[in-house]
Structure 1
Protein backbone atom coordinates (compact mmCIF):
# COMPACT_ATOMS: atom_id res chain seq x y z
CA UNK A 1 0.00 0.00 0.00
CA UNK A 2 1.22 3.49 -0.83
CA UNK A 3 1.23 6.00 2.04
CA UNK A 4 1.59 9.74 1.30
CA UNK A 5 2.25 12.18 4.13
CA UNK A 6 0.79 15.70 3.98
CA UNK A 7 1.98 16.91 7.38
CA UNK A 8 0.67 16.82 10.94
CA UNK A 9 -1.93 13.99 10.95
CA UNK A 10 -2.95 14.33 7.32
CA UNK A 11 -2.07 11.47 4.99
CA UNK A 12 -3.50 9.31 2.26
CA UNK A 13 -3.39 5.58 1.61
CA UNK A 14 -4.05 4.18 -1.85
CA UNK A 15 -5.93 0.88 -2.04
CA UNK A 16 -6.52 -0.63 -5.51
CA UNK A 17 -6.32 2.86 -7.00
CA UNK A 18 -8.81 4.21 -4.44
CA UNK A 19 -7.41 7.14 -2.46
CA UNK A 20 -8.29 7.39 1.24
CA UNK A 21 -7.43 10.79 2.72
CA UNK A 22 -7.28 11.25 6.49
CA UNK A 23 -7.75 14.37 8.64
CA UNK A 24 -7.07 17.11 6.05
CA UNK A 25 -5.11 19.97 7.64
CA UNK A 26 -2.76 21.57 5.12
CA UNK A 27 -3.54 25.20 4.29
CA UNK A 28 -3.02 26.59 7.85
CA UNK A 29 -0.03 24.30 8.48
CA UNK A 30 3.11 26.35 7.89
CA UNK A 31 5.22 23.20 7.63
CA UNK A 32 3.00 21.78 4.88
CA UNK A 33 1.54 24.62 2.83
CA UNK A 34 4.87 25.46 1.20
CA UNK A 35 5.24 21.86 0.03
CA UNK A 36 1.67 20.69 -0.57
CA UNK A 37 -1.27 22.45 -2.21
CA UNK A 38 -4.57 21.31 -0.71
CA UNK A 39 -6.33 22.26 -3.95
CA UNK A 40 -4.47 19.53 -5.85
CA UNK A 41 -4.94 16.62 -3.46
CA UNK A 42 -7.07 13.79 -4.82
CA UNK A 43 -9.45 11.80 -2.65
CA UNK A 44 -12.18 9.22 -3.15
CA UNK A 45 -12.87 8.96 0.58
CA UNK A 46 -12.02 11.27 3.48
CA UNK A 47 -11.84 9.74 6.96
CA UNK A 48 -12.09 12.19 9.85
CA UNK A 49 -11.00 11.09 13.33
CA UNK A 50 -12.45 14.08 15.19
CA UNK A 51 -13.54 17.69 14.79
CA UNK A 52 -10.54 19.78 15.85
CA UNK A 53 -9.41 22.38 13.32
CA UNK A 54 -5.98 20.75 12.95
CA UNK A 55 -7.80 17.74 11.48
CA UNK A 56 -10.62 19.41 9.53
CA UNK A 57 -9.31 22.74 8.18
CA UNK A 58 -9.40 21.63 4.53
CA UNK A 59 -12.18 19.07 4.90
CA UNK A 60 -15.02 21.09 3.39
CA UNK A 61 -13.03 22.48 0.46
CA UNK A 62 -11.54 19.11 -0.51
CA UNK A 63 -14.88 17.30 -0.09
CA UNK A 64 -16.63 19.85 -2.32
CA UNK A 65 -13.94 19.80 -5.00
CA UNK A 66 -13.44 16.04 -5.19
CA UNK A 67 -16.90 14.76 -4.30
CA UNK A 68 -15.21 12.28 -1.96
CA UNK A 69 -17.35 10.36 0.51
CA UNK A 70 -16.60 11.51 4.07
CA UNK A 71 -16.50 8.91 6.85
CA UNK A 72 -16.90 10.49 10.29
CA UNK A 73 -18.88 10.69 13.52
CA UNK A 74 -22.60 11.45 13.53
CA UNK A 75 -21.98 14.93 14.91
CA UNK A 76 -19.47 15.80 12.18
CA UNK A 77 -21.96 14.38 9.65
CA UNK A 78 -24.55 16.85 10.91
CA UNK A 79 -22.02 19.72 10.82
CA UNK A 80 -21.03 18.85 7.25
CA UNK A 81 -24.69 18.94 6.26
CA UNK A 82 -24.77 22.58 7.34
CA UNK A 83 -21.79 23.15 5.02
CA UNK A 84 -23.79 21.58 2.13
CA UNK A 85 -21.66 18.43 2.12
CA UNK A 86 -24.03 15.51 1.60
CA UNK A 87 -21.83 12.60 0.45
CA UNK A 88 -21.16 11.48 4.02
CA UNK A 89 -21.26 8.12 5.80
CA UNK A 90 -21.67 8.58 9.58
CA UNK A 91 -20.21 5.96 11.94
CA UNK A 92 -19.55 5.56 15.65
CA UNK A 93 -17.37 3.57 18.01
CA UNK A 94 -17.72 -0.18 17.55
CA UNK A 95 -19.30 0.09 14.12
CA UNK A 96 -18.06 -1.63 10.97
CA UNK A 97 -18.90 -1.06 7.30
CA UNK A 98 -17.84 -2.59 4.00
CA UNK A 99 -17.18 0.13 1.41
CA UNK A 100 -16.33 -2.31 -1.38
CA UNK A 101 -12.55 -2.23 -1.81
CA UNK A 102 -12.05 -1.85 1.94
CA UNK A 103 -13.79 -2.23 5.30
CA UNK A 104 -13.68 0.24 8.18
CA UNK A 105 -13.94 -0.78 11.83
CA UNK A 106 -14.32 2.19 14.21
CA UNK A 107 -12.47 1.87 17.51
CA UNK A 108 -11.98 3.86 20.71
CA UNK A 109 -9.80 6.98 20.85
CA UNK A 110 -9.39 8.95 24.09
CA UNK A 111 -9.26 12.64 23.26
CA UNK A 112 -11.72 15.53 22.85
CA UNK A 113 -13.60 16.73 19.77
CA UNK A 114 -14.90 20.24 19.17
CA UNK A 115 -15.66 21.59 15.70
CA UNK A 116 -14.21 24.85 14.31
CA UNK A 117 -17.46 26.74 15.03
CA UNK A 118 -17.41 25.62 18.67
CA UNK A 119 -20.08 22.95 18.29
CA UNK A 120 -19.68 19.44 19.66
CA UNK A 121 -17.86 17.03 17.35
CA UNK A 122 -18.91 13.76 18.96
CA UNK A 123 -16.55 11.16 20.34
CA UNK A 124 -13.12 10.99 18.70
CA UNK A 125 -12.57 7.88 16.58
CA UNK A 126 -9.84 5.47 15.57
CA UNK A 127 -10.03 3.39 12.40
CA UNK A 128 -8.98 -0.11 11.37
CA UNK A 129 -8.97 -0.30 7.58
CA UNK A 130 -8.95 -3.78 6.07
CA UNK A 131 -8.45 -4.60 2.42
CA UNK A 132 -7.16 -7.39 0.18
CA UNK A 133 -3.71 -5.73 0.12
CA UNK A 134 -3.50 -5.61 3.91
CA UNK A 135 -4.73 -3.93 7.08
CA UNK A 136 -3.75 -0.81 8.97
CA UNK A 137 -4.77 1.07 12.09
CA UNK A 138 -5.00 4.84 12.46
CA UNK A 139 -5.46 5.66 16.12
CA UNK A 140 -6.45 9.30 15.61
CA UNK A 141 -5.48 11.67 18.41
CA UNK A 142 -5.48 9.57 21.54
CA UNK A 143 -3.95 8.71 24.86
CA UNK A 144 -2.58 5.23 25.42
CA UNK A 145 -5.48 3.01 26.43
CA UNK A 146 -5.94 -0.65 27.31
CA UNK A 147 -8.61 -0.81 24.58
CA UNK A 148 -5.70 -1.01 22.12
CA UNK A 149 -5.20 -4.64 23.22
CA UNK A 150 -8.37 -5.45 21.27
CA UNK A 151 -6.97 -4.23 17.94
CA UNK A 152 -5.12 -7.46 16.97
CA UNK A 153 -8.27 -9.49 17.69
CA UNK A 154 -9.91 -7.65 14.79
CA UNK A 155 -7.04 -7.46 12.31
CA UNK A 156 -3.45 -8.53 11.73
CA UNK A 157 -1.84 -5.20 10.95
CA UNK A 158 0.66 -4.40 8.20
CA UNK A 159 1.26 -0.98 9.73
CA UNK A 160 -0.16 1.54 12.19
CA UNK A 161 -0.32 5.34 12.16
CA UNK A 162 0.14 6.75 15.66
CA UNK A 163 0.57 10.23 17.18
CA UNK A 164 3.94 10.66 18.89
CA UNK A 165 4.17 14.37 19.76
CA UNK A 166 2.97 14.23 23.39
CA UNK A 167 1.25 17.15 25.19
CA UNK A 168 -2.09 16.58 23.37
CA UNK A 169 -1.67 12.86 22.57
CA UNK A 170 0.59 9.89 23.23
CA UNK A 171 4.30 10.54 23.38
CA UNK A 172 6.95 8.28 21.86
CA UNK A 173 7.15 6.07 24.96
CA UNK A 174 3.41 5.45 25.01
CA UNK A 175 3.33 4.90 21.24
CA UNK A 176 5.99 2.20 21.68
CA UNK A 177 3.75 0.55 24.28
CA UNK A 178 0.81 0.88 21.89
CA UNK A 179 2.81 -0.88 19.14
CA UNK A 180 3.30 -3.84 21.50
CA UNK A 181 -0.41 -3.93 22.38
CA UNK A 182 -1.52 -3.90 18.75
CA UNK A 183 1.24 -6.36 17.72
CA UNK A 184 2.55 -4.16 14.93
CA UNK A 185 6.19 -3.56 14.02
CA UNK A 186 5.76 -1.01 11.23
CA UNK A 187 4.73 2.34 12.72
CA UNK A 188 4.26 5.67 10.97
CA UNK A 189 4.46 8.64 13.31
CA UNK A 190 2.16 11.65 12.99
CA UNK A 191 1.02 14.65 15.07
CA UNK A 192 4.52 15.94 15.87
CA UNK A 193 6.66 19.06 15.15
CA UNK A 194 3.74 21.15 13.80
CA UNK A 195 3.55 23.36 16.89
CA UNK A 196 5.99 24.22 19.66
CA UNK A 197 4.05 22.00 22.07
CA UNK A 198 4.75 18.82 20.07
CA UNK A 199 8.37 19.06 18.90
CA UNK A 200 10.27 15.77 19.09
CA UNK A 201 13.81 14.45 18.66
CA UNK A 202 13.58 12.28 15.53
CA UNK A 203 16.67 10.18 16.24
CA UNK A 204 15.64 9.43 19.81
CA UNK A 205 12.14 8.50 18.65
CA UNK A 206 13.42 6.08 16.02
CA UNK A 207 15.81 4.51 18.54
CA UNK A 208 13.01 4.01 21.08
CA UNK A 209 11.09 1.95 18.52
CA UNK A 210 14.18 0.14 17.23
CA UNK A 211 14.99 -0.96 20.78
CA UNK A 212 11.77 -3.00 20.69
CA UNK A 213 12.38 -4.36 17.17
CA UNK A 214 9.89 -1.94 15.63
CA UNK A 215 10.50 0.49 12.78
CA UNK A 216 9.33 4.08 13.10
CA UNK A 217 8.77 5.76 9.75
CA UNK A 218 8.85 9.57 9.69
CA UNK A 219 8.25 10.42 6.02
CA UNK A 220 8.88 13.94 4.80
CA UNK A 221 5.87 16.11 3.98
CA UNK A 222 4.84 15.30 0.41
CA UNK A 223 6.72 11.99 0.43
CA UNK A 224 5.14 8.69 -0.63
CA UNK A 225 6.37 5.43 0.84
CA UNK A 226 5.32 1.86 0.19
CA UNK A 227 4.36 -0.04 3.33
CA UNK A 228 3.97 -3.80 3.14
Structure 2
Protein backbone atom coordinates (compact mmCIF):
# COMPACT_ATOMS: atom_id res chain seq x y z
CA UNK A 1 0.00 0.00 0.00
CA UNK A 2 1.33 3.43 -0.97
CA UNK A 3 0.07 6.48 0.90
CA UNK A 4 0.95 10.00 -0.21
CA UNK A 5 0.24 13.46 1.19
CA UNK A 6 -0.74 16.40 -0.99
CA UNK A 7 -1.12 19.49 1.18
CA UNK A 8 -3.78 20.62 3.66
CA UNK A 9 -5.66 17.37 4.47
CA UNK A 10 -5.40 15.68 1.07
CA UNK A 11 -4.27 12.05 1.24
CA UNK A 12 -4.00 9.52 -1.58
CA UNK A 13 -4.01 5.77 -0.98
CA UNK A 14 -3.01 3.31 -3.69
CA UNK A 15 -3.82 -0.29 -2.89
CA UNK A 16 -4.81 -3.44 -4.76
CA UNK A 17 -4.86 -1.59 -8.07
CA UNK A 18 -7.23 1.08 -6.74
CA UNK A 19 -6.69 4.77 -5.99
CA UNK A 20 -8.51 6.45 -3.10
CA UNK A 21 -8.48 10.17 -2.39
CA UNK A 22 -9.37 11.60 1.02
CA UNK A 23 -10.62 15.20 1.22
CA UNK A 24 -9.48 16.22 -2.31
CA UNK A 25 -9.15 20.00 -1.91
CA UNK A 26 -7.06 20.79 -5.02
CA UNK A 27 -8.26 23.98 -6.74
CA UNK A 28 -7.62 26.84 -4.30
CA UNK A 29 -5.08 24.81 -2.33
CA UNK A 30 -1.75 26.55 -2.89
CA UNK A 31 0.13 23.78 -1.10
CA UNK A 32 -0.97 20.86 -3.25
CA UNK A 33 1.04 19.28 -6.05
CA UNK A 34 -2.05 17.71 -7.61
CA UNK A 35 -4.23 18.87 -10.50
CA UNK A 36 -7.86 17.86 -10.93
CA UNK A 37 -7.27 16.81 -14.54
CA UNK A 38 -4.39 14.59 -13.46
CA UNK A 39 -6.36 12.47 -10.98
CA UNK A 40 -8.47 9.42 -11.73
CA UNK A 41 -9.59 8.07 -8.35
CA UNK A 42 -11.66 4.94 -7.94
CA UNK A 43 -13.08 6.24 -4.66
CA UNK A 44 -13.23 9.48 -2.71
CA UNK A 45 -13.61 9.51 1.08
CA UNK A 46 -14.76 12.66 2.86
CA UNK A 47 -14.35 13.51 6.53
CA UNK A 48 -16.86 16.38 6.52
CA UNK A 49 -18.63 18.96 4.39
CA UNK A 50 -16.42 22.05 4.65
CA UNK A 51 -15.38 23.36 1.25
CA UNK A 52 -11.67 22.91 1.96
CA UNK A 53 -12.31 19.17 2.37
CA UNK A 54 -15.05 18.41 -0.15
CA UNK A 55 -12.92 20.44 -2.55
CA UNK A 56 -13.13 19.12 -6.11
CA UNK A 57 -15.03 15.96 -5.29
CA UNK A 58 -17.88 16.47 -7.75
CA UNK A 59 -15.65 17.29 -10.72
CA UNK A 60 -13.31 14.40 -9.93
CA UNK A 61 -16.15 11.90 -9.48
CA UNK A 62 -17.88 12.95 -12.69
CA UNK A 63 -14.67 12.60 -14.69
CA UNK A 64 -13.51 9.30 -13.19
CA UNK A 65 -16.72 7.59 -12.11
CA UNK A 66 -15.38 7.38 -8.55
CA UNK A 67 -17.76 6.43 -5.77
CA UNK A 68 -17.92 9.05 -3.00
CA UNK A 69 -18.17 7.76 0.57
CA UNK A 70 -19.26 10.25 3.22
CA UNK A 71 -21.61 10.68 6.15
CA UNK A 72 -25.17 10.26 5.01
CA UNK A 73 -26.29 13.90 4.89
CA UNK A 74 -23.26 14.95 2.86
CA UNK A 75 -23.56 11.90 0.61
CA UNK A 76 -27.23 12.67 -0.03
CA UNK A 77 -26.43 16.25 -0.98
CA UNK A 78 -23.56 15.30 -3.28
CA UNK A 79 -25.73 12.62 -4.87
CA UNK A 80 -27.99 15.39 -6.20
CA UNK A 81 -24.97 16.60 -8.20
CA UNK A 82 -25.09 13.53 -10.42
CA UNK A 83 -22.40 11.36 -8.83
CA UNK A 84 -22.48 7.95 -7.14
CA UNK A 85 -22.39 8.20 -3.36
CA UNK A 86 -22.53 5.90 -0.35
CA UNK A 87 -23.85 7.46 2.85
CA UNK A 88 -22.56 6.02 6.13
CA UNK A 89 -22.49 7.20 9.73
CA UNK A 90 -20.29 7.26 12.79
CA UNK A 91 -19.28 3.84 14.09
CA UNK A 92 -20.33 2.12 10.89
CA UNK A 93 -17.93 0.11 8.71
CA UNK A 94 -18.28 -1.31 5.21
CA UNK A 95 -16.12 -3.59 3.08
CA UNK A 96 -15.62 -2.11 -0.38
CA UNK A 97 -13.60 -3.67 -3.21
CA UNK A 98 -10.84 -1.14 -2.44
CA UNK A 99 -10.73 -1.69 1.34
CA UNK A 100 -12.75 -1.28 4.53
CA UNK A 101 -13.99 2.16 5.58
CA UNK A 102 -15.12 2.96 9.12
CA UNK A 103 -16.24 6.39 10.28
CA UNK A 104 -15.22 7.53 13.75
CA UNK A 105 -16.14 10.44 15.95
CA UNK A 106 -14.62 13.89 15.40
CA UNK A 107 -15.52 17.13 17.18
CA UNK A 108 -15.90 19.94 14.68
CA UNK A 109 -18.67 21.41 12.50
CA UNK A 110 -19.80 20.37 9.03
CA UNK A 111 -21.53 22.44 6.37
CA UNK A 112 -21.04 23.11 2.67
CA UNK A 113 -21.30 26.59 1.17
CA UNK A 114 -22.55 26.64 -2.42
CA UNK A 115 -21.40 29.08 -5.10
CA UNK A 116 -24.57 31.09 -4.51
CA UNK A 117 -23.77 31.39 -0.79
CA UNK A 118 -26.33 28.89 0.47
CA UNK A 119 -25.17 26.82 3.44
CA UNK A 120 -26.01 23.11 3.29
CA UNK A 121 -26.01 21.03 6.49
CA UNK A 122 -23.40 18.28 6.16
CA UNK A 123 -24.24 16.00 9.06
CA UNK A 124 -21.68 14.97 11.65
CA UNK A 125 -17.97 15.48 11.04
CA UNK A 126 -15.91 12.30 11.13
CA UNK A 127 -12.56 10.65 11.20
CA UNK A 128 -11.87 7.76 8.84
CA UNK A 129 -10.32 4.39 9.54
CA UNK A 130 -9.20 2.71 6.32
CA UNK A 131 -8.06 -0.91 6.26
CA UNK A 132 -6.47 -2.81 3.38
CA UNK A 133 -3.65 -5.31 2.92
CA UNK A 134 -3.61 -5.94 6.65
CA UNK A 135 -2.78 -2.28 7.42
CA UNK A 136 -4.84 0.45 9.11
CA UNK A 137 -4.70 4.15 8.26
CA UNK A 138 -6.49 6.70 10.44
CA UNK A 139 -7.36 10.14 9.06
CA UNK A 140 -8.64 12.16 12.03
CA UNK A 141 -10.32 14.79 9.86
CA UNK A 142 -10.82 18.20 11.46
CA UNK A 143 -11.19 17.79 15.18
CA UNK A 144 -10.31 18.94 18.63
CA UNK A 145 -8.63 16.66 21.16
CA UNK A 146 -11.17 14.34 22.77
CA UNK A 147 -10.94 11.45 25.20
CA UNK A 148 -12.55 8.82 22.97
CA UNK A 149 -9.44 8.89 20.80
CA UNK A 150 -8.13 6.44 23.39
CA UNK A 151 -10.91 4.01 22.45
CA UNK A 152 -10.01 4.36 18.77
CA UNK A 153 -6.42 3.48 19.63
CA UNK A 154 -7.44 0.55 21.83
CA UNK A 155 -9.88 -0.89 19.30
CA UNK A 156 -7.64 -0.55 16.26
CA UNK A 157 -3.95 -1.18 15.68
CA UNK A 158 -3.13 1.94 13.67
CA UNK A 159 -0.12 1.82 11.40
CA UNK A 160 -0.33 5.40 10.13
CA UNK A 161 -2.32 8.39 11.43
CA UNK A 162 -2.92 11.82 9.93
CA UNK A 163 -3.76 14.42 12.58
CA UNK A 164 -4.48 18.15 12.23
CA UNK A 165 -2.11 20.55 13.99
CA UNK A 166 -3.17 23.94 12.62
CA UNK A 167 -4.97 25.25 15.71
CA UNK A 168 -7.67 27.97 15.32
CA UNK A 169 -10.12 25.60 13.52
CA UNK A 170 -8.79 22.31 14.98
CA UNK A 171 -6.46 21.13 17.71
CA UNK A 172 -3.03 22.72 17.72
CA UNK A 173 0.39 21.06 17.97
CA UNK A 174 0.36 20.44 21.72
CA UNK A 175 -3.14 18.93 21.81
CA UNK A 176 -2.35 16.93 18.66
CA UNK A 177 0.74 15.50 20.34
CA UNK A 178 -1.41 14.40 23.28
CA UNK A 179 -3.88 12.89 20.81
CA UNK A 180 -1.05 10.74 19.46
CA UNK A 181 -0.55 9.32 22.97
CA UNK A 182 -4.21 8.24 22.95
CA UNK A 183 -4.33 6.92 19.38
CA UNK A 184 -1.00 5.09 19.62
CA UNK A 185 -0.15 4.88 15.91
CA UNK A 186 3.16 3.50 14.74
CA UNK A 187 3.69 6.57 12.54
CA UNK A 188 1.96 9.96 12.58
CA UNK A 189 1.84 12.71 9.96
CA UNK A 190 0.76 16.29 10.80
CA UNK A 191 -1.79 17.83 8.41
CA UNK A 192 -4.14 20.81 8.12
CA UNK A 193 -1.55 23.53 8.71
CA UNK A 194 0.07 26.42 6.77
CA UNK A 195 -2.69 26.51 4.13
CA UNK A 196 -4.18 29.77 5.43
CA UNK A 197 -2.74 32.48 7.71
CA UNK A 198 -4.75 31.46 10.83
CA UNK A 199 -3.33 27.93 10.75
CA UNK A 200 0.36 28.70 10.28
CA UNK A 201 2.35 26.26 12.40
CA UNK A 202 5.83 24.79 12.75
CA UNK A 203 5.50 21.01 12.40
CA UNK A 204 8.85 20.58 14.11
CA UNK A 205 7.26 21.87 17.32
CA UNK A 206 4.62 19.16 17.03
CA UNK A 207 7.31 16.57 16.38
CA UNK A 208 9.24 17.65 19.46
CA UNK A 209 6.18 17.02 21.66
CA UNK A 210 5.34 13.54 20.37
CA UNK A 211 6.41 10.45 22.27
CA UNK A 212 5.77 6.83 21.42
CA UNK A 213 5.34 7.24 17.66
CA UNK A 214 7.50 8.04 14.68
CA UNK A 215 6.68 11.48 13.25
CA UNK A 216 6.95 11.90 9.49
CA UNK A 217 6.68 15.53 8.36
CA UNK A 218 5.60 15.02 4.77
CA UNK A 219 5.85 17.57 1.99
CA UNK A 220 3.23 17.58 -0.77
CA UNK A 221 3.97 14.62 -3.00
CA UNK A 222 5.86 12.63 -0.37
CA UNK A 223 4.78 9.03 0.09
CA UNK A 224 5.01 6.18 2.59
CA UNK A 225 4.91 2.47 1.77
CA UNK A 226 3.08 0.33 4.33
Q: Where does residue 27 of structure 1 map in the other structure?
A: 27
Q: Where does residue 131 of structure 1 map in the other structure?
A: 132
Verify the 8 A CA contact 2:76 2:85 in the aligned structure 1: no
Verify the 8 A CA contact 2:48 2:110 in the aligned structure 1: yes
Verify the 8 A CA contact 2:166 2:201 in the aligned structure 1: yes
CA change 1:167–1:215 in 2 (3 A) is same
Residue 98 (str. 1) matches residue 95 (str. 2): yes
Residue 113 (str. 1) matches residue 110 (str. 2): yes
Alignment of 1:163-178 (within 5 A): 163-178=164-179
Q: Distance in 1 between matches of 2:121 and 2:190?
A: 27
**TM-score normalised over the length of structure 2:** 0.93
Verify the 8 A CA contact 1:15 1:133 in the aligned structure 2: no
> Where do 5+ consecutive residues of structure 2 fail to align?
none
Alignment of 1:49-64 (within 5 A): 49-64=47-62
Q: Distance in 1 between matches of 2:212 and 2:148?
A: 23
Q: Distance in 2 between matches of 1:148 and 1:213?
A: 15
Q: Secondary structure at the match of 1:146?
A: coil
Residue 72 (str. 1) matches residue 35 (str. 2): no
After TM superposition, where is structure 1 displaced by more than 3 Å over at least 4 residues in a row?
A: none
Q: Distance in 2 between matches of 1:182 and 1:202?
A: 19
> Where do 5+ consecutive residues of structure 1 fail to align?
none
Q: Distance in 2 between matches of 1:72 and 1:153?
A: 24
- CA RMSD, 1 decimal: 1.4
Residue 12 (str. 1) matches residue 12 (str. 2): yes
Verify the 8 A CA contact 1:48 1:70 in the aligned structure 2: yes
Q: Where does residue 40 of structure 2 map in the other structure?
A: 42
